[in-house]
Amino acid sequence: MSSRFLRRALTASLALLLPLSAHAAFGDGLKTLAGGLGTTLGTLGGGLQLTFQHLSQKYLEPTDGTSSFEEDFVYQGVTREVLYIMPNVQTAPLAPAVVLLHYHYGTPEVMANLVEAGRLAAEHGAWVIIPKADGEWQEDPSKTSGTDDVGFLSALIAHAIAVRPLDAKRIYMAGMSNGGFMAERFACERSDLVAGTAIVAATLRKSENAVCAPLRVVPMTIMLGSRDSRINLEANLNLGLLTGQGTFDRFVALNGCNPAQTISSQLPDIANDGTVTTLEEAGGCASGGAVRYYAIENGGHTWPQGNYTGVSLLGKVAQDFNATDAIWDFFEPLHLP
């Protein structure tokens, strides 16, 4: 068994258990852990196939009614992996697509497993396109060095529309943690390319807030846990992030909504999992505008009803609603003019 297999298998196992935040100290700790475990795993040889037997297609969990393939996409001289998951049955000539951005240290395969991207494709007829970051997503506009990820994602979307049967007016973007911040930046800078955006375990950077000037309304869904230590710590200590509520309020303004018409409701506490979710929905928005905020009391740095194996060390995983389903419910009626 190759060392490349061992490294990828270890990454997949750890990431399924720990969808990691971008917190530097936590990330450094994981690198140490991964290095120590690598030697142990290396002695197992073929036995690793049993450990990861529930994963196939390069650690992507297969879903009935879907097909998947990988493509290498080159931008500014850098080749990146892009995972495509498509429905086997397409009911219209052109299908919608969700561009899904993984968290820090994530991979396309593990992100797909976490959010059950295959089920989304099978049940709703949408393609899911999951590109790999070049190290990490360059989502902070105040940092001028590094990869041009806005340009990369713009080029990837244009390429996908040109060569796949996709509806250019129904391209959406969703992301978690580092990927959520990137999706938000893309919405601010290229609102002409995406019909809707969803962010999980992320808020709006103050550096992005200062320059966010979208060309059109930017429909936005926000999901954030009150015990998300990575996000709330920085927001509460004024370290460069808006709070969840501040992010909602900002997009209410950007979408021309009327704050007085915001509707707040508590989701049924059906799981008795220690979390309670309040949904805020903006009202009176400009044509095409919409904003939702799922405030998850006691929720962690996690994807609600995410496909976690074991116990998440990043806080509670809300079970009262499914983030993937809620995001698609938000996206489905949206389209570019």
What are the per-10-residue average pLDDT scores of the chain (337 residues)? Answer: 34 38 34 30 30 48 94 96 96 96 94 97 98 95 90 99 98 98 98 98 96 96 94 78 96 97 97 96 95 98 90 87 99 97
Q: Is residue 336 situated within a structural domain?
A: no
Residue with tokens 């935040």: 21
Q: Is residue 189 situated within a structural domain?
A: yes
Q: Is residue 299 situated within a structural domain?
A: yes
Q: Is residue 43 situated within a structural domain?
A: no
pLDDT at residue 144 in the model = 82
pLDDT at residue 310 in the model = 66
pLDDT at residue 308 in the model = 87
Q: Is residue 145 situated within a structural domain?
A: yes
pLDDT at residue 58 in the model = 59
Q: Is residue 50 situated within a structural domain?
A: no
- Residue 210: CATH number of its domain: 3.40.50.1820
pLDDT at residue 230 in the model = 84
pLDDT at residue 286 in the model = 93
Number of folded domains that form the chain: 1
Instruction: Give the C-alpha separation, 35 to 276, whole Å.
Output: 38
Q: Which domain holds residue 315?
A: 3-21+59-331
Q: Is residue 34 situated within a structural domain?
A: no
Q: Is residue 32 situated within a structural domain?
A: no
| pTM check: above 0.85 | no
